[in-house]
Amino acid sequence: MKVDLRINGASRSADIEPRKTLLDALRENFLLNGAHAGCEHGVCGACTVLIDGEPVRSCLMFAVQADGYEITTIEGVAPAPGELSVIQDAFCETHGLQCGYCTPGMILAAHALLQHTITPTREDIVEAISGNICRCTGYGQIIEAVQFAADRLRKANTPRPHHGADQPVEAE
């Protein structure tokens, strides 16, 4: 079936069989290898992408279902080749990763959180990444990375497009 997707702000099309997951399509048809297969049954979160800014397991969607959304993969997070976003840089600063396999999914989950929540508590962060399993880090330095990024984004007065009306903005 012909599938028209919006990925990282660009329109991409391919002929994809219905049973092919969005994860496999991203990797094989669109050569975006940042989303990873860890379990293919929706538990580990290594396949996480953003659908309209919200984290979703791409192994639990078929490519044929994914039209009409803005899909963001890890490749769409860096502002330019060789440059890191604030959150990516924060993960480097605190060493919030080791093998890197869960990392794209983890960063996208954190990215989505920080679009909604200016001053996340530790509990907020734990909940936001609870769907992403890491076997390397024990999560400590990942949580530190998100706290560090939240702090930098807040101090830089960064606009958040998805900041919800029901979330009070913290006075600084």
Partner 1 sequence: MKPAPFDYVRPDTLAEACALLAGDEDARLIAGGQTLVPMLAMRLARPARLIDILRLPELAGIRQEKDAVVVGATTRQAHAERDPVIRASVPMLARVLPWVGHPPTRNRGTVGGSIANADPSAEIPLAAVTLGAEIMLATPDGPTSMPADDFFIGPMLTTIGLGECVRAIRFPVWPQPRIGVGFFEISARRSDFAFVAAAAQVALDEEGRCLDVALGVGGVGDRPVRLDVASLVGTELDAASIVEAVNASSNDIEAMSDLHASAAYRRRVAVTLCVRALEEARANASAKPAKGAR
Partner 2 sequence: MSADPATFRFVSTNRRVREDRRFVAGHGHFVADVALEGMLHVAILPSQHPAARIVSIDASAALAMPGVHYVLSGDELAAATDPLMNGLDTPKVQRHPLAVGQTRYAGEWVVAVVADSRALAEDATEKVRVSYEPLPFVMNAEEALKPDSPPVHPAHGSNVLLDRTFVWGDVDKHFAESPRHLSFRVTWGRNSTVPIETFGVAASWDPWRDMLDVWASIQMPKYPDQIARALRIPANGVRVHQDVDVGGSYGVKRGIKQTVLVAHLARRLGRPVRLIEDRLENMRGGDAHGPERIFDVEVAFNDDGIVKSMKIRALDNAGAYAGRAPFQLGKPIGAIVGPYKIESVQYRAQSVTTNKAVQEAVRGFGQAPTNYAIETAIDKVAAATGLERIEVRRRNFIRKEEFPYLIPSGSTYDSGDYHTVVDKVVAHIDFAAMERERDRLRASGLLAGIGIAACLEPSGGNSSFEPLLNEKNTTTTWMDSCRINIDGPGFVTVTIHNTSSGQGHETLVSTVIGEVLQIDPDLIRVIRPDSLACLPSNSPVGSRMAIMLGGAAFHAAQKLKAKLTRIAAHQFGVGEDKAVYASGAVSDPNSGRQLGWAELVNIAHRNFHLLPEGMEPGLEATHVMQVPTGNKLPQAGRVQMYPCHSFEFHVVLMAIDPALGKPEIKRYVIGHDCGTVINPHIVKGMTLGGVAHGLGAALLEEFVYDDEGHLITQSFMDYLLPSSHEVPEVEIVHHCTPSPFTVFGQKGSGESGYLGAPAAISAAVNDCVSPLGISFNKLPIRISAIGDAIADAQQGKPQEQAK
Choose among partner 2, partner 1, none what residue 34 binds, the Cβ cut-off being 5 to 8 Å by kind. partner 2
The nearest distance, CB 27 to partner 1, in angstroms, is 13
- 51 phi/psi in degrees, rounded to 5: -115, 115
According to CB under 8 A, which one of 15, 41, 80, 171 is a site residue for partner 1?
A: 41
CB 103 within 8 A of CB 139: no
53 touches 72 (CB < 8 A) = yes
Q: Return the residue of 5, 7, 109, 145 that touches partner 1, per CB under 8 A.
A: 109
Q: Which stretch binds partner 2 (CB under 8 A): 6-14, 63-71, 89-97, 153-161?
A: 89-97
For residues 61 and 73, the answer to whether their CB atoms sit within 8 Å is no
Contact of residue 29 among partner 2, partner 1, none (CB under 5-8 Å per partner type): none
Between 58 and 88, CB nearer to partner 1: 58
Distance separating alpha carbons of residues 95 and 77, to the nearest angstrom = 18
From the list 1-9, 26-34, 63-71, 149-157, the region that binds partner 2 by CB under 8 A is 26-34
Which of 115/141 has CB closer to partner 2?
141
Query: How far is C-alpha 68 from the geometric centre of its chain's CA atoms?
Result: 18
Partner touching 134 among partner 1, partner 2, none, CB below 5 to 8 Å by kind: partner 2
Q: Is 158 in the site for partner 2 (CB under 8 A)?
A: no
Interface residue list for partner 2 (CB under 8 A) = 17, 19-20, 27, 32-41, 43-44, 46, 73-75, 77-78, 84, 88-89, 91-104, 107, 125-127, 129-143
